[in-house]
Structure 1
Amino acid sequence: MAGVTDAQPVDGKIVVDGVGKRFQSGSGTVEALRGVNFSVQEGEFVCIIGSSGAGKTTLFRIIAGLEEATDGTVWLDGEPIEGPGTDRGMVFQEYGLFPWRTVLGNVAFGLEQREMSKPARRERAERMIDLVGLGEFVDSYPKELSGGMKQRVGIARALAVNPEILLMDEPFGSVDAQTKQRLHAELLDIWRETGKTVMFVTHDVDEAVTLADRVVVLTGSPGSVHEVVDVDLDRPRARTDEAFAEYEERLRDAIG
């Protein structure tokens, strides 16, 4: 990764250290990110929010190792991220399921590249399917599932390889509001049960306040960190609470 320094500058499971990103386009150089700095502690649930064009997905892809930063470094456990790895499980808004595979086949896919026996792969996949509440659908195909169920398959698939970090890029953006609320509760249950570190990109302020321990607010073009907000609310969080509304207002003001 460009700009790698000798050592991780601060403590954290993930440390984003001076990350910048520039693209070449037909009209010249486009700067998507500039000087992005923040850290994520082990077991923490952190949301990244920002206005359109603030570089949320670009930053996500750099942390995932799918793109290289032009400047700066992303550190994971003190080592620079230099590409994708099984230490990071990814869930996207697009389900990305194989239509010709069952739920079990989709969840087990990542395990097929590992030295595991077929019974061990099946056992691990079935455990993750049970974890996301789809035990009755192991033999179903994606076309037989609702949008929310498909996304739960995606979460189970990401968890099956036992990553240290769960990276989620607007995973609930294409489901209806009622399903989204249910998925929020289920995701928080999974997070508590597994102890995973979660980084969750969203444009939805309500979603960020519902889920996060801390919220990283990206603003501007190029995107940079405007503020990192600690969400000091007990879970489960009620949207009707005055304190919840105050956090929503603070984050909306920060986004601008």
Structure 2
Amino acid sequence: MHIELNDLSKRFDHTDALDQVNLNVPPSSIIAVLGENGAGKSTLLSLLGGVLAPDRGLIRFDGQVFSRERLELRKRLLFTPDVPVMFMDRSVAANIATFAALYGTRVEDREAELTHQLEETGMAALLNRSAMTLSRGQLWKAFMACAAAVEPELWLVDEPFASGMDVIGMGVFRRLARRLADEGSTIVYTTQMVDLAADFSDHVCVLRQGRIVLWETSAKVKEMIRATPEGQENVLRGLR
């Protein structure tokens, strides 16, 4: 999916959460959205996911104007907030089947991969557990199985590295996101960890006070980090 943002703006009370954001996101890539607290990262993801509507500006998916009412476009994306939204009264297995049904995919076509992922994360033994009984980290691991069942063209993930998952879960997330991108999907995730973003992304987008102050390849951001002792702080400030 090719994503274009044109003068995208969102205001809450007297605060510009996003202010005239313009961005051209290449398909088949992993994008890390960095920023200080209150920079507008979660707002950007919520707009891309149709959770919020912009006050001004346009979002285009493959040249088509996106809005919350365009269900055919919304079915091409999967939005994961910092605490995944699942059917809490249903089992892990039922959630996987439900997400696949909602997105029109077949669990049977991905059975081998899903089984391997669930075994890797330790969730295979918890398939019959209700989602409401899971810890936050387990909930994330369960939702990753839902994402693998859906294989969205656009996966929006808010703060996956602050999810409470253990290192095994984090490794599975990296491998899943990388595989999806290699197969044509676009992954956009938010974080405050500069070195992590540079290590796990194709491009880095830095927001500051609702505006984009830096858009670079991950290789360039690594150079910026190494350039001075304040390299990571300079990246967050958009200073080259």
- CA positional deviation for 1:35: 1.4
Distance 1:88 1:37 in 2: 20
Alignment partner for residue 46 of structure 2, among 58, 61, 67?
61
In structure 2, the partner of 1:252 is 233
String of CA shifts for 1:152-202, please: whole Å, max 9, x gaps: 2212223423321111011331316xx2x4334322211333322100011
Cα deviations by residue, 1:30-75 (Å, 9 ceiling, x for unpaired) = 3211111122111100010111121111111111111111121111
CA displacement at 1:15 relative to structure 2:
1.2
Q: Distance in 2 between matches of 1:115 and 1:168?
A: 21
Label 1:115 to 1:206 Cα distance change in 2 as closer, same or farther (>3 A): closer
- What is the percentage of aligned positions where both structures have the same residue? 25
- In 2, the alpha carbon distance for the partners of 1:51 and 1:82 equals 27
**Equivalent of residue 192 in structure 1, options 175, 178, 183:** 178
* Distance (whole Å) between structure 1 residues aligned to residue 214 and residue 103 of structure 2: 41
Instruction: Show the counterpart of 1:162.
Output: 151
Distance change (3 Å), C-alpha of 1:41 and 1:96: same
1:101 offset after TM fit, Å? 1.6
Task: Name 1:82's counterpart in structure 2.
Answer: 67
How much does 1:81 deviate? Answer: 1.1
Are 2:200 and 1:211 aligned? yes
Q: Is the 8 A contact 1:108 1:125 kept in 2?
A: no
Once residues 148 and 244 of structure 1 are traced to their aligned partners in structure 2, the CA distance between those partners, rounded to angstroms, is: 32
Structure 2 unaligned runs (5+)? Answer: none
- CA change 1:78–1:251 in 2 (3 A) is farther
Task: Tell me which residue corresponds to 1:45.
Answer: 30
How big is the shift at 1:143? 5.6
Deviation at 1:245, TM superposition (A): 5.2
Tell me the TM-score normalized by structure 1. 0.75
Cα distance in 2 for partners of 1:16, 1:66 equals 16
Q: What SS is found at the alignment partner of 2:160?
A: coil
What pairs up with 1:1-256 in 2 under 5 angstroms? 13-23=2-12, 25=13, 29-83=14-68, 85-113=74-102, 121-124=106-109, 126=111, 129-130=114-115, 132-134=117-119, 136-137=124-125, 138-142=127-131, 145-175=134-164, 179=166, 181-194=167-180, 195=183, 196-220=185-209, 223-232=210-219, 246=226, 249-256=230-237
| Structure 2 counterpart SS, 1:132 | helix
* Alignment partners' CA distance in 1, 2:103 and 2:75: 11
Q: Structure 1: where are the runs of 5+ without partners?
A: 1-11, 234-241
Moved over 4 A (4+): 124-128, 143-146, 242-245
**Corresponding letter in the other structure for 1:77:** D
Aligned pair in 2 of structure 1 residues 34, 131: CA closer, same or farther (>3 Å)?
A: farther
Letter paired with 1:19: L
